[in-house]
A = this chain, B = another copy of it.
Amino acid sequence: MSATLPQVVPGADLPDAVTIYEVGPRDGLQNESTVVPTAVKADFVRRLVAAGLGTVETTSFVSPRWVPQLADAEDLLTELGDEGLGHRRPVLVPNERGLDRAMEHGVGAIAIFGSATETFAQRNLGRSLAESVQMFAPVVRRALDSDLWVRAYVSMCFGDPWEGPVPVTQVADACESLMELGAHQLSLGDTIGTGTTGHVEALLLELERRGIGADVIGVHFHDTYGQALANTLTALRAGVRVVDASTGGLGGCPYARSATGNLATEDLVWALDGLGIRTGVDLGALVETSVWMAKQLGRPAPSRVVKALSGG
């Protein structure tokens, strides 16, 4: 096999460069059944950065009761030292208590986890949508006061397992609320992976109408129905420049009926490399990292590129 890298052929209506927002250590590992030792997590983050992933979400300060996989958030930040700090190493914080813990370790960026639907807000956050925004308000305000960078996830932007398809106007309402708090960036999540490309275009158009431009938007697609990469490329054509992905395709949504998880970073990099779009990522080093992490987890990486290039 000589064809281990894609042929570079630029496409129409696409950018020169894309920022990959790597969620493997947080969104990936929190949905794996295996609990990974802290030292391995630190090594994972370091390998990802070494492979060229500039932005890596490292961990979560959600209660260990809910996410035991990431119960070692403090220890991991201690282990990472300076490598876990700065605007490009966000950690997830659920509330003010989580923010306190994160700031004690000097983090430079946080992510909050909002919802586009009432049912998911109730089930995931234990309160209504309006109440969840109230809960996030002091978190964001205090983070901004301390010059932290703030990202707001919006879950269930396309389909919701209890409510079905989610109207774009409802999603845009949720996005507006979170941006009004002062978030620097939104991440539009297709948490159960049901969205298709026209739906992506429609949501981005609705947001643009309301003054929320593509420059503050990241997209976060799950591959449960095989749509993640197609949806991502559609978002890029619509002006989005930040894409969430999980190395190896780690993770998944505990509320979806399939184990299929996040868009695999390698499958995304293959597509972008082929289009000549700069990401800074070394695909070979990334595949090596996935193969290494798959050994730690005791299961093969779901990424198709990893399977193809590692002979798995």
> Which A residues fall within an 8 A CB radius of B?
1-3, 6-12, 14, 158-166, 192-199, 201-202, 223-227, 229-230, 233-234, 256-260, 264, 267, 270-271, 273-276, 303-305, 307-309, 311-312
Contacts and interface: CB of A to CB of B under 8 A. Distances in A.
A141 to B, nearest CB: 35
Contact of A1 (B10, B161, B229, B308): B161
A209 to B, nearest CB: 15
With a 10 A CB-CB cut-off, give which of A2, A14, A259, A276 has the most chain B CB atoms: A2
Given A224-B304, A225-B270, A225-B308, 20 more contacts: A3-B194, A6-B194, A8-B198, A9-B196, A9-B199, A9-B201, A10-B198, A11-B198, A11-B234, A195-B274, A225-B304, A226-B270, A226-B271, A226-B304, A227-B271, A229-B229, A229-B230, A257-B308, A257-B311, A258-B304
Copy number in the complex reads 2
Considering the complex of A and B, which 10 residue pairs feature the smallest CB-CB distances, nearest first? A196-B274, A11-B198, A7-B165, A226-B267, A226-B304, A3-B159, A9-B198, A258-B308, A9-B199, A2-B164
A259 to B, nearest CB: 8
Given A229-B227, A260-B308, A267-B226, A3 B199 contact: no
B198 A2 contact: no
A47 B11 CA distance: 38
